[in-house]
Amino acid sequence: GYHRVLEENRKLYNQVQDLKGNIRVYCRVRPSLGGRSDFKSVVDSIEEGTITINTPAKYGKGCRSFNFNKVFGPTATQAEVFADTRPLIRSVLDGFNVCIFAYGQTGSGKTHTMTGPKDLTETSQGVNYRALSDLFFIAEQRKDTLHYDVSVQMIEIYNEQVRDLLVTEGLNKRYPFQLIIFLNNGFNVPDASLVHVESMYDVIDLMKLGHKNRAVGATALNDRSSRSHSCLTVHVQGRDVTSGAVLRGCMHLVDLAGSERVDKSEVAGDRLKEAQHINKSLSALGDVISSLAQKNSHVPYRNSKLTQLLQDSLGGQAKTLMFVHISPELNAVGETLSTLKFAERVATVELGAAQVHKDTSDVKDLKEQIANLKAALAKKE
Binding mask of the shown chain, residues 92 to 131, with x at each position contacting Mg ion by CB under 5 A: ------------------xx--------------------
Which residues, including other chains, have CB under 8 Å from residue 18's CB and lie 6 or more apart? none
Nearest to 101 by CA among 339, 328, 378, 271: 339
The residue within the footprint of ligand ADP, chosen from 50, 106, 317, 338 (CB under 6 A), is 106
Segment lying near ligand ADP (by CB under 6 A), choices 29-37, 132-140, 282-290, 314-322: 29-37
Question: Could you say which DSSP state residue 358 is in?
Answer: B
Alpha-carbon Rg of the chain, whole angstroms? 22
Contacts (CB under 5 A) with Mg ion, residues 258-287: none
Integer Cα distance of 312 and 172 in angstroms = 27
By a kind-dependent CB cut-off of 5 to 8 A, residue 186 interacts, out of Mg ion, ligand ADP, none, with: none
By a kind-dependent CB cut-off of 5 to 8 A, residue 112 interacts, out of ligand ADP, Mg ion, none, with: ligand ADP
The residue within the footprint of ligand ADP, chosen from 52, 67, 97, 108 (CB under 6 A), is 108
Shortest CB 322 distance to ligand ADP, Å: 14
Are 115 and 162 spatial neighbours (Cβ–Cβ below 8 Å)?
Answer: no
| 104 binds ligand ADP, rule: CB under 6 A | yes
Integer Cα distance of 68 and 313 in angstroms = 21
Shortest CB 256 distance to ligand ADP, Å: 9
Shortest CB 228 distance to Mg ion, Å: 10
Question: Which residue, 127 or 292, is less far from ligand ADP as judged by CB?
Answer: 127
Are 41 and 56 spatial neighbours (Cβ–Cβ below 8 Å)?
Answer: no
* 3-state secondary structure labels for all residues of 41-85: CCEEEEECCEEEEEECHHHCCEEEEEECCEEECCCCCHHHHHHCC
Question: Which residue, 95 or 328, is less far from ligand ADP as judged by CB?
Answer: 328
| 308 binds ligand ADP, rule: CB under 6 A | no
Nearest to 25 by CA among 310, 343, 255: 343
Segment holding 272, helix H or strand E:
helix 269-293
By a kind-dependent CB cut-off of 5 to 8 A, residue 153 interacts, out of ligand ADP, Mg ion, none, with: none
By a kind-dependent CB cut-off of 5 to 8 A, residue 107 interacts, out of Mg ion, ligand ADP, none, with: ligand ADP
Shortest CB 118 distance to ligand ADP, Å: 7
Shortest CB 178 distance to ligand ADP, Å: 27
Binding mask of the shown chain, residues 56 to 95, with x at each position contacting Mg ion by CB under 5 A: ----------------------------------------
| 112 binds ligand ADP, rule: CB under 6 A | yes
Question: Which residue, 325 or 358, is less far from ligand ADP as judged by CB?
Answer: 325
What secondary structure does DSSP assign to 111-142, as a single string? HHHHT--SS--TTT--HHHHHHHHHHHHHHHT
With H, G, I as helix, E, B as strand and everything else as coil, classify residue 356.
coil
Integer Cα distance of 193 and 167 in angstroms = 7
Segment lying near ligand ADP (by CB under 6 A), choices 30-38, 188-196, 211-219, 305-313: 30-38
Binding mask of the shown chain, residues 226 to 245, with x at each position contacting ligand ADP by CB under 6 A: x-------------------
By a kind-dependent CB cut-off of 5 to 8 A, residue 133 interacts, out of Mg ion, ligand ADP, none, with: none
Segment lying near ligand ADP (by CB under 6 A), choices 26-34, 210-218, 352-360, 370-378: 26-34
Residue nearest to ligand ADP (CB): 109
Geometric angle at alpha carbon 367, from 365 and 372, rounded to 5°? 95
Residue type, 377: L
Which residues, including other chains, have CB under 8 Å from residue 317's CB and lie 6 or more apart? 22, 96, 97
Shortest CB 30 distance to ligand ADP, Å: 4
Integer Cα distance of 377 and 374 in angstroms = 5
Integer Cα distance of 86 and 131 in angstroms = 7
Interacting residue ranges for Mg ion, rule: CB under 5 A: 110-111
Interacting residue ranges for ligand ADP, rule: CB under 6 A: 30-31, 33, 104, 106-112, 117, 226, 325
